[in-house]
């Protein structure tokens, strides 16, 4: 669940983040309508608590995967819940790039696509990695929630065995989750160190 939803959310969240940055006021492809619509949609889905978003999207899970349980049933709410968060993280990282660099790129005659790929997606890689790390850790918490509503996984194990008073299994699952989070954070920190100029 973490791999599938993480990769899909990263790709779509990065695209949304780029569109938000370039279409905002003063952006290289300023478009008030596109920016306004996307900004409001992202804010809307970020405002809905994930535990409420899951049953709200049952119809979409059924439509796409013909089920609301298991990994396939969990994928839709996980992706829909994570994309807005990822988009904001990517937007935040790209907005840290100095305006002077963007202006210099425009004055050198770079096209908008060149600026997107060679400046926005290249100049603050450490910031983007930090955003991805934060999002993946938040995604683990969401995976535990979908586990409680029939998606399986570690969250489901912790809750199911906890309800049967088998606390040793519950504590073991919590420790495994903490180890996974620590590994993701360590990898993120190492990548930030390697990509920081």
Entry pTM? 0.88
**Full set of structural domains in the chain with CATH:** 2-195 (1.10.3720.10)
Give the pLDDT of residue 197: 67
Angle, helix 70-95 to helix 2-23, in steps of 10 degrees: 30
Name residues of the chain where pLDDT drops below 70: 148-150, 197
pLDDT of res. 55: 87
How far apart, in whole angstroms, are the C-alpha atoms of residue 170 and residue 86?
29
- Per-residue model confidence (pLDDT) at position 33: 96
């Amino acid at each position: 669940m973490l791999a599938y939803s993480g990769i899909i959310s990263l790709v779509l969240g990065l695209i949304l983040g780029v569109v938000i940055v370039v279409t905002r006021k003063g952006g290289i492809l300023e478009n008030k309508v596109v920016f306004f619509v996307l900004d409001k949609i992202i804010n809307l889905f970020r405002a809905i608590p994930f535990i409420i978003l899951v049953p709200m999207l049952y119809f979409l899970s059924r439509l796409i995967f013909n089920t609301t349980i298991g990994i396939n049933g969990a994928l839709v709410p996980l992706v829909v819940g994570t994309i807005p968060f990822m988009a904001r993280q990517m937007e935040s990282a790209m907005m840290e790039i100095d305006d002077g660099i963007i202006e210099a790129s425009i004055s050198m005659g770079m096209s908008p696509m060149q600026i997107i790929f060679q400046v926005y997606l290249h100049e603050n890689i450490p910031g983007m990695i930090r955003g991805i790390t934060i999002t993946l850790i938040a995604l683990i918490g969401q995976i535990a929630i979908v586990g409680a509503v029939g998606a399986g996984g570690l969250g489901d194990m912790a809750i199911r065995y906890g309800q049967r008073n088998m606390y040793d299994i519950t504590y073991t699952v919590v420790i495994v989750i903490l180890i996974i989070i620590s590994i993701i954070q360590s990898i993120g920190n190492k990548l930030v160190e390697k990509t920081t100029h």
